[in-house]
Structure 1
Amino acid sequence: MLVGSYDPALVLISLCVAILASYTALDLAGRIATAKGWPVLLWIGGGGVAMGIGVWSMHFIGMLAFSLPIPLGYDLDLTLLSLAIAMLSSGFALALVSQERLPFWQLLLGALAMGTGISCMHYLGMYAMLMQPGIEYDPLLFGLSLLIAVLASGAALWIAFRLRQNTPYVRLVRGGAALVMGVAIVGMHYTGMAAARFPDGSFCGAAPSGLGNDWLALLIIVVTLAVIGIALLTSVLDARLESRTALLSSSLAQANQELTQLALHDNLTRLPNRVLLEDRIEQLIGKVQRNGGNFALMFLDLDGFKPVNDAFGHHLGDLLLKEVARRLRDNLRSEDTVARIGGDEFVLLVELAEPEDAVTLASQQISLLAQPFQVAGQELRIAASIGIALYPGDGASQQELLRNADAAMYHAKGNGKNGYSFFEQSMNTNARNHLQLLHDLRAALARGEFVLHYQPKFAASGEPIGAEALLRWQHPQRGLLMPDTFIALAERTGLIIPIGDWVLDEACRQMRLWYLHGRESWRVAVNLSALQFCHAGLVDSVAAALERHQLPARCLTLEITETTAMRDADSSLEILGRLSGMGVDLSIDDFGTGYSSLLYLKRLPANELKIDRGFVRDLEQDSDDAAIVSAIVALGQALDLRIVAEGVETSGQQDFLTRLGCDSLQGFLLGRPIPAEQFLDCLSATA
């Protein structure tokens, strides 16, 4: 027998090629698993070519590493046929592992088919030497090589299928698996080579005209590495592209989710907004129409929120709204909806077992919000007015239900707030009038429709000492409107702040004109609403108005109600102290009607107490009122405050108040509110 030998370098190279080909196969299997549509066929076809060349190259380099004491060569046609078999076997393997599932019977058949293909490639490559006489094979080693081919194929298919998903450390695991697969493939090849027997006197029929091995090894190595490298590089780049695409897609999906969240939810409270609420109302209407039943739409508006917002700032107001939202949400069932549709307005959408259950639910919400809130270290108290519209009955569409619930809410506010009201058809007319008045009020300031009338104030001696500025609205259609028609609406919407600034500015302007006409001792009195008094810009507004019209601060009297001054006494002391420091005259209006605290009263930097007209009206008939007025006058004198009585309508009242020691009087008996241009003439006429 001819004894062969091996080139150690080429043997080592064949092992490296086998490992590299195995790793490429595993990586390509991962690409095929993530691909969709026609790219799968491209990856299977291209991968089969690259992997087949790799496996075949390992086999052929291993054969080129083998030498006999005779010249050797390889038939070109048979060599190319063995290469084709390697490619087909590789393509079959990749197609098999690209499936979503790989049952055991498919794995077994695949291992037999692939093992047969690899064995055919190997032994056809051996046959390509065209040895004469033919090569003899050791039956045991021949059978062992076939078994190794099948087992290696089965292991390769199973490993490729298991490692095709991109998991943590997948490339490291694939590297270890490629080492095992490469050794198995090389083991099959060299077992088959060991089975070959070359009788003495044999010669290679392909040696004269076939492929020689002097330059073929280098060529195959270069081409194989190039093909496998290109395939592996393409796979890596595609994986990175897919990863970036997936990341971009995930980012876009997240951005879309966030945009949807923003589009359908309120930014501050994360509750559903009007858009989502309207959709849910439509869905619930459809459900009730199909299955029967009923639901309530409750329009909830917070009472007392704006004073909190103005007194403590918008940041704390926002925190309070969040707490209100949380409390409302936690008190409802998961299938119910609470939405914020703007400002301090919330809407509850609740399915009912019976329409009467709406009463219980509304009472629960009112009691719930009446409990104090702890916000940023402050204990805050608010209330709620709720309007209720029921379906079916109070509207056929979501727009109509919302409109009717809103009308019922305003009706609840008109009944004293902190309560609820069911919708009635008559409310629509009131709601339309209310909305029209609100629309007109927003434009009234810009159109110059507000005017001031002035009611004269007289000293006890009968000498005029100034006037109180009283706001009127010269409505283009409704005529002259008194404050009780629109002031509450202005306070509820916050319009009272710009309107109050205008009143302050106009009163200072008019007083400056009187000042220049010689009335230097007069004072003009301006009423401050609770919202104005709590507003952070009040002191600056007063200072700006005085400076703008060059009016001495002593010529301006600011009137605040006793209730407003005592609501937050410490804060009132700070604001009134700053105003008093400017030289502005301060008056406590409606004294005796609130919850007077003498402890705070003596600390307030006030100059004047104003007796409420309610005590003056029945002064002559009611001894209790007379006693109260006497006590107020005595208290004011003890605290060294001027005493002003308003609402004087009879000479008897005038005489009584004068005898008690009131410093000044005002009322219809002495002079009615009139426009500024008539004021001086009227005083001259009465004098």
Structure 2
Amino acid sequence: MDAGRRPSQSSPLMSLVSDEWMLMAPAMALAYLALGLRSWSLPDLTSAGLGLLAMLLAAFAPVSVKMEKSRLSIAWQRYLNMAVSIGLPMLLYGLSLTRWASEVDSLGWMTLLTTLIAAMLLSAALLNGMLPSIMAASISIWMGAWLVVREPLALASLLFCAALGISLTVRHVRRRLAEAQLRIEHERIQQRAVELLADYEEAGQGWFWETDRRGAITYLSPTIGVVLRQKSANLIGRPLTELFILHDDARDGERTINFHLSARSSFKDLAVRAAAPHEERWWSISGRPIYDHFNNFVGFRGSGSDLTEKRLTQERATRLARYDALTGLANRFQMSETLEKILNAQREDHRACTVFLLDLDRFKQVNDTMGHPAGDSLLKQVAQRLERTVDDAGRVGRLGGDEFQVILPGHIAREGLADLAERIIENLSQPYSIDGHRIVIGASVGIACAPEDGVTSEAIIRNADLALYAAKDGGRGRHHFFDPDLHSEAEERRQLEHDLRDAISHGGLELHYQPVVHTTTEKITGFEALLRWNHPRLGYLSPAKFIPVAEDAGLIAQIGEWALRVACQDLASWPESVRVAVNVSPLQFANPSLPAIVTNALAASQVDPSRLELEITESVFLNDDVSTKTMFAALKRVGVRLALDDFGTGYSSLGYLKKAPFDKIKIDQSFVRGATMAGSRNGAIIASIVSLAEALGMETTAEGVETLDELDLVRMLGCSHIQGFIYEKPLSCDAATERLSSGLTAIASGPRSARPSRQTMLRKVVLDHNGEKYNGTIRNISSTGAMIEGLWNVPAGTIFGVHMSEHHVISATARWSKDDRMGVEFATPLETDSDGRIPVRPSRSDRASGEAAYRLRKAG
């Protein structure tokens, strides 16, 4: 309640004259008439004049009232007006009557007293509780009488009667005032209550309602009419339950209200949905029955409050408990609940399902380099793509971080599962646009099926997780089905991580150095530092074996800092003309402290910064932003050289070379390998890279040169530096120091050419020759040819069509044959993956035999 509604302490002045006072004039006239008839006499001229003046002054009461209300704002003015309008007429009236009674014996003093007392009482009634005016009227009338009767006895009688009259008048007025005060206080309390209720309703904190004994509305707060888009008057007389809508969620609440209304029992905080059009609004309703003085039921009275926000908050909390707040996908709890429901179905044939576990490749790099908001935006886009890919085939959820899960109910053929996994990987690997930057990530998928791979949710999730690790170990961007052997592999991986931590703590890691040779002078200009680990039990392990373990365990940054420090220490003991190149992982590159780490390593070994070369892969450009440019600038200020490693194997872009201050481009060995073979386009690619580097003022290093033919080719194509087994294998620090002590000249030594590496493959194929079909089995295969058995004494030069699968036919020519085996050369070299392997889909017969073997192994 605002202050304006409280009674002011400076209230308006009390009214002292009443409109009814004018009735005193005819009352006086009647008194004169009655006294004249009683005494059969008339007052003298003076008494008559005084009486007439008294009546005239009383008759002008309305004028006095009007003046009091409009012009008289000061207390003394009002009292003066009251004295003229009330006191003076009563004084003149008392004086006139007393003079008349003193001259006419037949009137008598008792008659006079009676008349005066009656006039005094009438004045009290007409002035209606105006105590100052009543007192003035009473005193004035007796004062007029005293002015005539001056005898002590008469005066005493008059004073006694006056005191008695005044006393009676005061008591009457006090009683009237007390009653008026109580009435005013009661009205004030009622008004206060009405105002408080109005404020309560207007503030939207609640509203009130009342019904009759039939449940029809007799009162309803006006705010409800606004909510329901109806006039409040139109709602009066309608059933209370029409204010609510019958809805699945509200049905219980409405039925409960109907029950209470019919049972005439109190209810409290019942949730009902309002019948509000075009919006969802909820109310909390409370009510109680009301009875009259005779204990007869007359209806219900109650209140309501808005429950919408509270209910929405509860719904949001419920949703947060079951859905991921960032992506809107099902969360870990709901996915677990879904899996449990399937695995515990009543019918056994309904307990089959497949679980995909997905992990995003290179997401951590995005999150670390571009910040969490960019990472969150990326996760939202991933979720959308994943939902579109899976569609209605299953439920998609996010378990946390960059880990997602897909549950596919029912039996699905492995081919279908593999196809879906490949589509997921392909769709999630397409570029993303985040804050104007082009982002490329990948995904790996682990697959476990129930009941084949487990009958409990714990077993299925664990086995899908093992399959996911196997997919990541296989090179990422792949899918992998669970296999029982993965348990032992997981244990090996766990042990390997333990051993790797121990090796880092106790100096078990080593750096080996492979020379980098100038093409023209054949002088060693530097070394590339290569990480090696001589495992106490397993011997030297390939970095491809333990680097993924280090990445997953968060050890890469620690290993990278150690490698920088040791490489600089070893470099300090070598000739000033020799450099060392150290690989920097994307995670290290994203670390703002990298320039300081490099500076400290150089300062500790007192090595000139220009002798240190940092090799950076193209993956640092996946999140090309301001921080990337800032890092390049900071490293160049340190004074080190920068080399772009494995150029052409990632997401190559000429824009990278334009933006980044590289000193060298390293041509990946995948382009060198096979470049000397007939029909290979690798030589043209190498020539293009060299031309580009020369135009930008950069050096080039051809990696993985192993044969004299490859050496002659890259030298002819203009590569400025060469690295590979053709000159030297990686050397330990001591061996490298000893090698440098004998001079910087390098001598090429190796085979003239090399046959492409072969892989063993027991694969059934169909051989097509002049329309005739023959069955054969590939024993081994390379990118240029294969050894096939099954056909006897095939003449050299025979041309076959080799059906690798239904839609993959290779043209091949027989080059030799012995007994049932022959060697064939492919007309076109096959493509290889990043590991140099031939990615060939299994044929239908191979799949059938493989699945049969799998089922037999499971049965065994």
Report the TM-score range of the alignment, normalised by the length of the smaller protein. Answer: 0.5 to 0.7
Q: Give the aligned partner of residue 524 of structure 1.
A: 580
Q: 1:589 aligns with which of 645, 658, 662?
A: 645
Q: Give the aligned partner of residue 698 of structure 2.
A: 641
Q: Give the aligned partner of residue 500 of structure 1.
A: 560
1:327 is displaced (CA, Å) by: 5.5
Q: Name the CA distance, whole Å, in 2 between partners of 1:489 and 1:634.
A: 38
Question: Going by fraction, where is strand more abundant, 1 or 2?
Answer: 2
Distance of aligned partners of 1:634 and 1:566 in 2 relative to their CA distance in 1, 3 Å threshold:
farther
Q: Name the CA distance, whole Å, in 1 between partners of 2:303 and 2:388.
A: 42
- Verify: 1:296 aligned to 2:354, yes or no: yes
Q: Give the aligned partner of residue 407 of structure 2.
A: 349
- Verify: 1:469 aligned to 2:529, yes or no: yes
Q: Deviations over 1:290-314 (max 9, x none)?
A: 6734222221112342332233223
Q: Is the Cα–Cα contact under 8 Å of residues 274 and 341 in structure 1 kept in the other structure?
A: yes
Q: Name the CA distance, whole Å, in 2 between partners of 1:359 and 1:617.
A: 31
Distance of aligned partners of 1:347 and 1:491 in 2 relative to their CA distance in 1, 3 Å threshold:
same
Q: Is the Cα–Cα contact under 8 Å of residues 288 and 294 in structure 1 kept in the other structure?
A: no
SS at structure 1 position matched to 2:573: helix
Q: Is the Cα–Cα contact under 8 Å of residues 473 and 548 in structure 2 kept in the other structure?
A: no
SS at structure 2 position matched to 1:579: helix
Q: Name the CA distance, whole Å, in 2 between partners of 1:420 and 1:382.
A: 15
1:505 is displaced (CA, Å) by: 2.4
Q: Deviations over 1:123-176 (max 9, x none)?
A: xxxxxxxxxxxxxxxxxxxxxxxxxxx963246x546xx33x55469xxxxxxx
Q: Is the Cα–Cα contact under 8 Å of residues 311 and 536 in structure 1 kept in the other structure?
A: no
Q: Give the aligned partner of residue 514 of structure 2.
A: 455
Which has the greater radius of gyration? 2
5 Å-filtered alignment, 1:558-597, equals: 558-561=614-617, 568=624, 575-591=631-647
5 Å-filtered alignment, 1:318-329, equals: 318-325=376-383, 328=386
- Verify: 1:681 aligned to 2:822, yes or no: no
Q: Is the Cα–Cα contact under 8 Å of residues 573 and 605 in structure 1 kept in the other structure?
A: no
TM score, norm. by length of structure 2: 0.46
Specify the code of the residue in structure 1 equivalent to 2:579.
R
1:372 is displaced (CA, Å) by: 5.2
5 Å-filtered alignment, 1:101-500, equals: 101=260, 152-154=293-295, 158=298, 162-163=300-301, 165=302, 167=304, 274=332, 277-287=335-345, 292-325=350-383, 328=386, 338-352=396-410, 358=417, 362=421, 365-366=424-425, 369-370=428-429, 373-413=432-472, 417-441=476-500, 444-459=503-518, 460-491=520-551, 495-500=555-560
1:670 is displaced (CA, Å) by: 3.0
1:594 is displaced (CA, Å) by: 6.0
SS at structure 2 position matched to 1:674: coil
1:503 is displaced (CA, Å) by: 1.8
Q: Name the CA distance, whole Å, in 1 between partners of 2:613 and 2:435.
A: 35
Question: Going by fraction, where is helix more abundant, 1 or 2?
Answer: 1
Q: Deviations over 1:325-348 (max 9, x none)?
A: 466568878996544334311122
Specify the code of the residue in structure 1 equivalent to 2:340.
E
SS at structure 2 position matched to 1:480: strand
Q: Is the Cα–Cα contact under 8 Å of residues 350 and 410 in structure 2 kept in the other structure?
A: no
Specify the code of the residue in structure 2 equivalent to 1:487.
I
Distance of aligned partners of 1:564 and 1:461 in 2 relative to their CA distance in 1, 3 Å threshold:
same
Q: Is the Cα–Cα contact under 8 Å of residues 352 and 358 in structure 1 kept in the other structure?
A: no
Q: Name the CA distance, whole Å, in 2 between partners of 1:535 and 1:434.
A: 27
Q: Name the CA distance, whole Å, in 1 between partners of 2:264 and 2:332.
A: 59
Q: Give the aligned partner of residue 223 of structure 1.
A: none
Q: Name the CA distance, whole Å, in 1 between partners of 2:431 and 2:667.
A: 33
1:273 is displaced (CA, Å) by: 5.1
Q: Deviations over 1:599-630 (max 9, x none)?
A: 75466422223344345555666686566555
Q: Name the CA distance, whole Å, in 2 between partners of 1:370 and 1:664.
A: 34
- The range that moved more, 547-556 or 327-336, is 327-336
- Verify: 1:670 aligned to 2:727, yes or no: yes
Q: Name the CA distance, whole Å, in 2 between partners of 1:447 and 1:151.
A: 93
Specify the code of the residue in structure 2 equivalent to 1:528.
V
- Verify: 1:554 aligned to 2:610, yes or no: yes
Distance of aligned partners of 1:327 and 1:566 in 2 relative to their CA distance in 1, 3 Å threshold:
closer
Q: Is the Cα–Cα contact under 8 Å of residues 306 and 492 in structure 1 kept in the other structure?
A: no
SS at structure 1 position matched to 2:533: strand
Specify the code of the residue in structure 2 equivalent to 1:347.
Q
Specify the code of the residue in structure 1 equivalent to 2:294.
S
Q: Name the CA distance, whole Å, in 1 between partners of 2:715 and 2:393.
A: 68
State the identity %. Answer: 37
Q: Name the CA distance, whole Å, in 1 between partners of 2:422 and 2:685.
A: 39
Q: Name the CA distance, whole Å, in 2 between partners of 1:659 and 1:378.
A: 39
SS at structure 2 position matched to 1:153: coil
Q: Name the CA distance, whole Å, in 1 between partners of 2:422 and 2:671.
A: 37
Q: Give the aligned partner of residue 510 of structure 1.
A: 570
Q: Name the CA distance, whole Å, in 2 between partners of 1:598 and 1:581.
A: 24
Q: Deviations over 1:606-660 (max 9, x none)?
A: 2223344345555666686566555655554454433434334456655666677
- The range that moved more, 378-387 or 550-559, is 378-387
Q: Is the Cα–Cα contact under 8 Å of residues 646 and 666 in structure 1 kept in the other structure?
A: yes
1:452 is displaced (CA, Å) by: 0.9
Q: Name the CA distance, whole Å, in 1 between partners of 2:651 and 2:348.
A: 57
Give the count of matched residue pairs: 476
Distance of aligned partners of 1:506 and 1:409 in 2 relative to their CA distance in 1, 3 Å threshold:
same
Q: Is the Cα–Cα contact under 8 Å of residues 293 and 353 in structure 1 kept in the other structure?
A: no
Specify the code of the residue in structure 2 equivalent to 1:586.
L
Q: Name the CA distance, whole Å, in 1 between partners of 2:183 and 2:398.
A: 71
Relative contact order, higher structure (CA 8 A, sep 6+): 1
Q: Deviations over 1:199-236 (max 9, x none)?
A: xxxxxxxxxxxxxxxxxxxxxxxxxxxxxxxxxxxxxx
- Report the RMSD for the aligned CA atoms in angstroms: 5.0
Specify the code of the residue in structure 2 equivalent to 1:405.
A
Q: Deviations over 1:362-411 (max 9, x none)?
A: 56644654565454444544443322222222202222101111223334
Structure 2 spans left out of the alignment, 5+ residues: 1-171, 191-257, 267-290, 745-860
1:564 is displaced (CA, Å) by: 5.6
Q: Name the CA distance, whole Å, in 1 between partners of 2:617 and 2:181.
A: 100
Q: Is the Cα–Cα contact under 8 Å of residues 566 and 572 in structure 1 kept in the other structure?
A: no
Q: Name the CA distance, whole Å, in 1 between partners of 2:362 and 2:303.
A: 59
SS at structure 2 position matched to 1:527: strand
- Verify: 1:613 aligned to 2:669, yes or no: yes
Distance of aligned partners of 1:615 and 1:686 in 2 relative to their CA distance in 1, 3 Å threshold:
farther
